[in-house]
Amino acid sequence: MKVREVLPDILVGELTKALETPNLMSPSTGSTESLDFVKSCLEICRTHHRSCSSTESSVPWLPTRLIQVDQDSLRLVESAETTISDPFVSLSHCWGGADILILTTENIKALKDDIPFLELPETFQDAIQVVRSLGIRYIWIDSLCIIQNSDQDWQKEAGTMLEVYKYALFNIAATTSTNSFGGLFQERNPHLVQSEVVDIDTEAIKGRFHLVDQGYFAEAVDEAPLNLRSWVAQERMLSPRIAHFAFDQVIWDCAELTACESLPHGTKVWSGYGARPMTFGCKQGSALLSPAKTVDEGLGQWGTIVNTYSACGLTVLGDKLIAISGVANHLRDELNMEYCVGLWRPKMEIQLAWVVQSLQEDRTPRNDLAPTWSWASVNGAVHLQQVNIYEGYDVSSLCSITEVSLRRETDEHRGEKVSGYLRMRCVLNPITLEGDAKSCRLRGKGMEEHGRSADVDSPDVAGAKQLFFVPLFDVQYQMSLEHKWKVSSEIRGIIVQGVMGCPGVYTRCGHAFISGSVRSDTRRFDETYDALKSPKGKAELPCEEYDADSGHLIKLV
């Protein structure tokens, strides 16, 4: 029998070596069998996975408050007032605008005496059932462990999210529920969930295999309602272990194992290249925060994180920077870098070249919660340049950032606002934009013969006046053309607009790059390149200070 007679399209499903055929599953993810699956995965992980147990210690970090789960009662406890030696579990869930019991300054005393179980939404009740089944005594739930009507307490506790999810024994994820009443547990048809098993006997492959849908984990986890929320993106990255309660089964995800009830062993996947570990999309959360050995690796991780995070939704726009602060703190502590409103020093000039990613008819509008040079000022998905993608290329900086000044303000209703500026020594090049907001090109002296693509940050930029192209860095690389290697170059930068009545002060309003083709006249591109990076003859352009050698000093707000 040929493999393709069994599996016509290897790309649709792959072959997973079957250690054994699992028993028929139960009709609910809240069954004893499902909870035993979580218990088994946790025990295996704690016993055998060294990389997953690095955060466990004899003197654990504890949140300010926890919910103590006894068999017959619940109550809120303050860790500073209680001797707690047991581990705790965290919960990730969608609030979804639901009216639920929350912790307030008015009811905190009553909840320390008793938390009425039946007044909790289904997701919380189900999570407590999971905790009880595992013999764990403590759980952290944001809405019941942070005082929701105290801005001071909320700010304090929001600053501990790194530790909450990092030090939780594992994280329970209400992956498929759109609000707190959706619950963890889902009814299912066991016959539809069970993986198909085939016997194959060929020269290339022999044995019994499960058929695995490669797209299953993306559908069940990555594209599920919970993981489309910005706060949860951080929770997922920081948690060393997650039990996803998905739409049809429970999925376990840690640094060394991705498994589900239909494939409880997380076995190897077979493809045309032989056996390889099973690493589906749901592992991407914690993997994004694997230890970075260099600054470039750390900045590369951050680029991937921001690109994923910015596409998620936020109920309160002012939470945009707070909801990723735990991840930022992790990288700051690991690599000793300076964090500047979503960007990092060093190599900030490369990160400034972020691009708005929008599939909408109009480009996503800006907010006033961050300076325009930060991607956090855009209400939508962005693509942040990943510094490490230029490894091996010849990259040269064409500007220098001399100062960054920031001021944070907190508002009870709007969240956090960061204002401030950066000063940069650069070269201003007057330009106009041709085309509409969805398809722009730069127009300026000497640019016409070269690639000159532009991406504006908001729809009203295309027809704006007093625009300038500021080169940030250039990249030179080799390309193969007609069996010959030729050098190609591109200059990446930002489009800025002068602030009326404030000479030398600018706002960012887009990204652009100018490229020289391997087929084009390299001499002409070199002339354009030299003109763009040279400040000579541009002394009259508005700036705080001009130098014929180092260029214009401007303030970007």
Residues 108 and 167 placed together within one structural domain of the fold: yes
Mean pLDDT of 507-528: 74
Q: Is the pLDDT of residue 462 over 90?
A: no
pLDDT in tens, 191-211: 888 877 888 888 877 888 877
Q: Is the pLDDT of residue 171 over 80?
A: yes
Name the residue range of residue 352's domain. Answer: 295-556
Residue 97 in any domain: the answer is yes
Residue 281 in any domain: the answer is no
Mean pLDDT of 178-188: 95
Residue 206 in any domain: the answer is no
pLDDT of residue 143: 96
How large a percentage of the chain has pLDDT more than 70?
81
Residues 172 and 260 placed together within one structural domain of the fold: yes
How far apart CA 212 and CA 15 sit, in angstroms, is 6
Both tokens assigned to 513: 């790059």
Under the banding of pLDDT at 50, 70 and 90, the label for residue 16 is low
Q: Is the pLDDT of residue 501 over 90?
A: yes
Q: Of 223, 248, 266, at which residue does a domain stop?
A: 266
Residues 411 and 530 placed together within one structural domain of the fold: yes
Report the range out of 173-187, 364-378, 456-470, 486-500 with the highest average pLDDT. 173-187
456 CB contacts (<8 Å, ≥6 apart)? 356, 363, 433, 437, 440, 462, 495, 509, 510
pLDDT in tens, 293-315: 788 888 988 998 999 899 888 88
Enter the pTM of the model. 0.82
Residue 283 in any domain: the answer is no
Is residue 244 a contact partner of residue 172, using CB atoms and an 8 Å limit? no
List the single range of 69-78, 304-313, 485-494 with lowest mean pLDDT: 485-494
Residues 257 and 314 placed together within one structural domain of the fold: no
Residues 254 and 341 placed together within one structural domain of the fold: no
Residues 444 and 407 placed together within one structural domain of the fold: yes
Residues 541 and 399 placed together within one structural domain of the fold: yes
- Can you list the alpha helix ranges (DSSP code H) found in 108-209? 108-113, 122-133, 142-145, 151-158, 161-167, 190-193
How far apart CA 383 and CA 311 sit, in angstroms, is 10
Q: Minimal CA–CA distance to 528: which of 456, 458, 474, 454?
A: 474
List the single range of 112-126, 180-194, 518-532 with lowest mean pLDDT: 518-532
Residues 238 and 319 placed together within one structural domain of the fold: no
- Alpha carbons within 13 A on the beta-carbon side of 544: 13
Residue 532 in any domain: the answer is yes
Residue 544 in any domain: the answer is yes
Residues 314 and 437 placed together within one structural domain of the fold: yes
Q: Please give the angle made by the CA atoms of 34, 141 and 286, to the nearest 5 degrees.
A: 65
Residues 538 and 427 placed together within one structural domain of the fold: yes
Which is more confident, 83 or 124? 124
pLDDT in tens, 203-233: 877 888 877 777 788 889 988 999 999 899 8
Domain count, the chain: 2
pLDDT of residue 90: 98
pLDDT of residue 386: 74
How far apart CA 113 and CA 74 sit, in angstroms, is 8
How far apart CA 347 and CA 110 sit, in angstroms, is 52
Residues 407 and 488 placed together within one structural domain of the fold: yes
How far apart CA 201 and CA 207 sit, in angstroms, is 6
Residues 366 and 430 placed together within one structural domain of the fold: yes
Residue 516 in any domain: the answer is yes
Residue 362 in any domain: the answer is yes
